[in-house]
Amino acid sequence: MSRSFKEILQKLVLFSLTSLAGTIVDLGLHWILSHYVFSGNYWGSYWIAPVISFEVAAMTNFIIAYFFVWKERVSYRGARSFWRHFAGYNAAGVGAFIIKFIVMQGVHFLFVSIDWLQDYSIEPVICNMIGLCFSGLFNFYMSEFVIFNKKKPEK
């Protein structure tokens, strides 16, 4: 059974709304780490902080997805189901992180080349936010069509 455009759009809107929690966690933690822990350190602000903040946000987003967004697609609820779905979600998250990271680095180097926002602690967060837009679309696709894919009815 194929999903209608309306069903997919409704899931995308719900996914986007609930992903705000993960986005807030990601951006907030990234800012705290890059501003207070790795201040003035390129490797800390653009390599270590995004990895930490993205993984914490991924767990936040997964919990919301598992228990709310795609709850009707989880036929059995238990520890094994939770961790099996999380493994797939986290694997997709690694792909999304790579996309986010590439976009984030590209935007940072663009800002450096045009000498824009270089003296502001918010610049890494802006680069991160732009990267999150691209990785979010990838994450939705993987969640909707792979990880929480609607099972075909058995005949």
Arithmetic mean of pLDDT over the chain:
85
Selected residue with higher pLDDT from 144 and 49: 49
Q: Which of 19, 141, 42, 84 is nearest to 27 (CA)?
A: 19
Q: Are 19 and 136 in contact (CB under 8 A)?
A: yes
Burial class (CB in 10 A: 0-12, 13-18, 19+), 17: exposed
Q: Which of 51, 60, 62 is nearest to 88 (CA)?
A: 62
Domain-located, residue 47: yes
Distance CA 54, CA 125 (A): 12
Selected residue with higher pLDDT from 17 and 44: 44
Domain-located, residue 153: no
Distant-in-sequence, close-in-space partners of 112: CB < 8 Å, separation ≥ 6: 118
Distance CA 4, CA 86 (A): 26
Average the pLDDT over 128-139 and give the result.
86
Domains in the chain: how many in total? 1
Q: Where are the alpha helices (DSSP H) in 114-122?
A: none
Question: Which residue range is the domain that position 9 belongs to?
Answer: 5-147
Domain-located, residue 152: no
- Of 40-44, 129-133, 150-154, minimum mean pLDDT range: 150-154
pLDDT tens readout for residues 23-61: 899 889 999 999 899 988 889 988 899 889 988 988 898
Q: Are 49 and 104 in contact (CB under 8 A)?
A: no
Distance CA 10, CA 14 (A): 6
Residue 117: DSSP 8-state: S
Q: Which of 85, 63, 100, 73 is nearest to 3 (CA)?
A: 73
Distance CA 6, CA 132 (A): 24
pLDDT computed for residue 153 by the predictor = 57
Domain-located, residue 102: yes
Domain-located, residue 154: no
Domain-located, residue 20: yes
Q: Which of 8, 42, 47 is nearest to 143 (CA)?
A: 8
Domain-located, residue 155: no
pLDDT tens readout for residues 81-110: 899 888 988 898 889 889 988 999 999 999
Domain-located, residue 95: yes
